[in-house]
Amino acid sequence: MSDDCNDNCAAVHRCANASRRYRFPFGASEIPSNGVYILFEKGECGHGQDRIVRIGSHTGSDRLSSRLEEHFVIENKDRSIFRKNIGKAILNQRGDSFLKYWEKDLTSKENKEKYASQIDFEYQKCIEKQVSQYMRCNFSFCVIGTADKEENPLVLEKKLIATISLCSECRPSKDWLGRYSPEKKIVKSGLWQVHHLYKTEKTLSASDVRKFFSDYRAFTQHT
């Protein structure tokens, strides 16, 4: 299994690295309506190329670019677990006691009222800006547009995460920000994710990899 995952992970890296790369600011109209995004981070190498550090997709139809905006543009950690995790690592790295407040989900009215007197919202905004700056300067991504509405991008997302997490060849650099994450799964996997890791039964099959390559080529030619 490990050898297969290493080979498939290397193949995914080759394909993703050869594909059209997006950076902030990106135009929503340039991005396919549905699909999976693959993120790279400055300073991270894997399989002799840029290392994949996160895979993501979206729920709901035609929401891929909106999901990416929730990571890169909209400064609200409670709408993006990715932003929340970047902020947690930044705060933890410098031993900032605001970490315990950053972790709170303030989406519900109940929580907003509960923590209103405890949280310094100006400081929270300042952390949001630091997260945005880190993300915009350090992350780039490519996308795999899923072929049609019947194809659920979450299925491909899970397979990619399982495969990459089980690869023994791509590891984070010694300076990787994720090493400071309080989330043990992020530190251990070298990926900005905590779900769908190490699922041996959900990895990419040989035909998935072939399909991946052909779909990807189709998409990159299209753009």
Q: Which residues bind Zn ion (CB under 5 A)?
A: 9, 167, 169-170
**Cα–Cα distance between 184 and 188 in angstroms, integer?**
6
Question: Which of 14, 63 has the CB closer to Zn ion?
Answer: 14
Minimum CB separation from Zn ion for residue 23, in Å?
A: 23
- The 8 Å CB, 24+ separation contacts for 200-204 are 200/1, 200/162, 200/166, 202/158, 202/159, 202/162, 203/1, 203/4, 203/5, 203/8, 203/159, 203/162, 203/163, 203/166, 204/8, 204/12, 204/159, 204/160, 204/162, 204/163
Nearer to Zn ion, 96 or 169 (CB): 169
> How far is 86 from 77, CA to CA, in rounded Å?
9
Residue 40 phi/psi, 5° resolution?
A: -120, 155
Shortest Å, Cβ 142 to Zn ion: 16
Q: Which residue, 134 or 192, is less far from Zn ion as judged by CB?
A: 192
Minimal distance, residue 15 CB to Zn ion, in Å: 13
Q: How far is the CB of 104 from Zn ion (least distance, A)?
A: 35
Largest CA distance in the chain: 55
Nearer to Zn ion, 80 or 203 (CB): 203
DSSP per-residue codes, 47-107: TTEEEEEEEE--SSTT-HHHHHHHHHT---GGG-HHHHHHHHHHHHHTT-TTHHHHTS---
Q: Residue 9 or 177: which CB sits closer to Zn ion? A: 9
Least gap, CB of 169 to Zn ion (angstroms): 5
- Report in angstroms how near the CB of residue 8 gets to Zn ion at its nearest: 9
CB 47 within 8 A of CB 170: yes
